[in-house]
Structure 1
Amino acid sequence: MTKTILAIDDSASVRLMVKMTLSGAGYTVVEAADGEQGLEIARSCRPDAVLTDQNMPRLDGIGFIRKFRQMQESEGVPVVFISTESDSGVVQQARSAGATGWIVKPFDQEKLLSVVGKLVKL
């Protein structure tokens, strides 16, 4: 059975790279351009994992994680925080909000596949 990954990032090029990489490995990828849209999508299709950027309009990554973790649909769903910020304070905020792991941008396709593969088995 195919696993669904929700990719939330305001950069269309990052979403495209994530989608091409994960789709090529057998995952289904659903995209959202910001945290608010990500919450709407998460309500309608329960993803097997979420990848979220931090700096986005309307609702940032930490805000998304906090709201997502309040939803029943988030139970057992790993969330990977993706950011250009490697500051331990931001990473700790994401962890406290409910992030399972993080990836620092820029990242390569192998790193993405490795992280997702550890969290979601096809």
Structure 2
Amino acid sequence: MQKTVLIVDDEERNRRLLEVFASSDGYRTLIATNGEQGLLLARKECPDVVLLDLMMPGMDGFEVARRLKAQPETAGIPLIVVSSLDDAASRGRMRECGIDRVLGKPIDRWELSRSIAELTGGAPAR
């Protein structure tokens, strides 16, 4: 069965890049342009992993992560943050929110592939 990656990012360029990387590895992709959409899609589709931007208008990625981890139906979904935030305070907040992995920007395509595969239980689907 094909695994699903939910991409939650307000920047179209970032969404497209992540979508190309994930789909080229054989994953089905879902796209959310903001935190609210991301929460709705996660509850409805139960993806295998979420790629999450932190800095979004309205509901930021920290709040999205907190809410996903607080809901029994989404608490087990691994969260990968793709962010340029690398300071100690931000990393501490990420741990508190239950974020499973942090990847820096610019994104390393192979590191992303490895991270998705590890957190979804196997090799890329390609």
TM-score range (shorter-chain normalised) is over 0.9
SS of equivalent to 1:72? coil
Aligned residue in 2 for 1:21: 21
Aligned residue in 2 for 1:102: 102
Amino acid at match of 1:88: A
TM-score when scaled to structure 1? 0.94
Deviation, 1:34, is 1.3
SS of equivalent to 1:20? helix
The percent identity for this pair of structures is 33
CA contact (8 A) 1:39 1:64 kept: yes
CA contact (8 A) 2:68 2:75 kept: no
Aligned residue in 2 for 1:8: 8
Deviation per residue, 1:72-108 (Å, 9 max, x gap): 2223211012211111210110111111111111112
> 1:1-122 alignment to 2 at 5 Å?
1-120=1-120, 121=122, 122=125
* Runs of 4+ deviating beyond 3 Å: none
Deviation, 1:27, is 0.4
CA distance in 2 between counterparts of 1:50 and 1:38 reads 9
Q: What is the root-mean-square deviation in Å for CA atoms of aligned residues?
A: 1.1
Deviation per residue, 1:18-58 (Å, 9 max, x gap): 11111011101101111111001111100111110010011
TM-score when scaled to structure 2? 0.91
SS of equivalent to 1:5? strand
CA contact (8 A) 1:95 1:101 kept: no
